[in-house]
């Protein structure tokens, strides 16, 4: 795993997200779908919370000595995160204080990604062997540092689809 691969993946999914977010009006930003669920602003707050939590967990894990990886032979592939057919409740409660107007949230959303990319660049630049650094995902069990980097991209892809669903519900 190298930084360019991680950055490319996160940049690609962010461009997709930005394209979906751009046409959303300020009025629809905080509007929840009639069938229930989060508003677009709430989805972005969730994404920022998860990205911060992953980076915080990585920092904490990387501060300790590496550990041997032990996990089950049969596992659900983490790529399923991006599929919306499997509904899960977030293990991280939504911080409503993060939900603001569109312009403010987009700026914070971009800043959060910038912080993440800086952290990943600094972490991956040293050529350090990260194979012994892993921590638990609430649904997938133990994931390596590299897998967590992919989780961030898959997770954003999932919620890009969710935002499309939200916007589509307003047009029905």
* pTM of the entire predicted model: 0.94
CB within 8 Å of 58: residues ≥ 6 apart: 119, 123, 133, 135, 145, 148
Tell me the per-residue pLDDT of 108-149, one tens digit each, with 9 for 90 and over: 999 999 999 999 999 988 788 898 999 999 999 999 999 999
Q: What is the mean pLDDT of residues 141-165?
A: 96
Q: Is the pLDDT of residue 172 over 70?
A: no
Both tokens of residue 164? 């499309």
Architecture of the domain whose range is 3-170: Up-down Bundle (1.20)
Q: Mapping DSSP to helix (H, G, I), strand (E, B) and coil, where does residue 27 land?
A: helix
Tell me the per-residue pLDDT of 46-104, one tens digit each, with 9 for 90 and over: 999 999 999 999 999 999 999 999 877 778 899 999 999 888 889 999 999 999 999 99
pLDDT number for residue 25: 96
Give the span between the Cα atoms of 62 and 32, in whole angstroms.
Answer: 39
Both tokens of residue 160? 């890009």
DSSP 81-146: GG-TTS----SS---GGG---HHHHHHHHHHHHHHHHHHHHHHHHT----TT-EEEETTTEEEEHH
Give the span between the Cα atoms of 94 and 33, in whole angstroms.
Answer: 17
């Amino acid at each position: 795993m190298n930084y360019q691969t991680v950055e490319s993946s996160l940049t690609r999914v962010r461009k997709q997200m930005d394209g979906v977010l751009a046409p959303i009006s300020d009025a629809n930003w905080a509007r929840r779908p009639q069938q229930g669920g989060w508003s677009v602003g709430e989805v972005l707050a969730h994404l920022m919370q998860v990205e911060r939590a992953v980076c915080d967990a990585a920092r904490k894990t990387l501060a300790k000595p590496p550990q041997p990886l032990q996990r089950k032979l049969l596992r659900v592939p983490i790529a399923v995160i991006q599929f919306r057919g499997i509904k899960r409740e977030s293990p991280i409660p939504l911080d409503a204080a993060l939900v603001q107007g569109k312009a403010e949230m987009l700026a914070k959303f971009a800043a959060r990604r910038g912080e993440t990319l800086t952290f990943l660049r600094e972490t991956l630049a040293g050529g350090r062997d990260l194979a012994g650094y892993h921590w638990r995902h609430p649904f997938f069990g133990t994931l390596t540092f590299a897998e967590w980097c992919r989780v961030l991209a898959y997770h954003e892809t999932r919620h890009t689809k969710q935002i499309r669903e939200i916007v589509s519900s307003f047009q029905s």
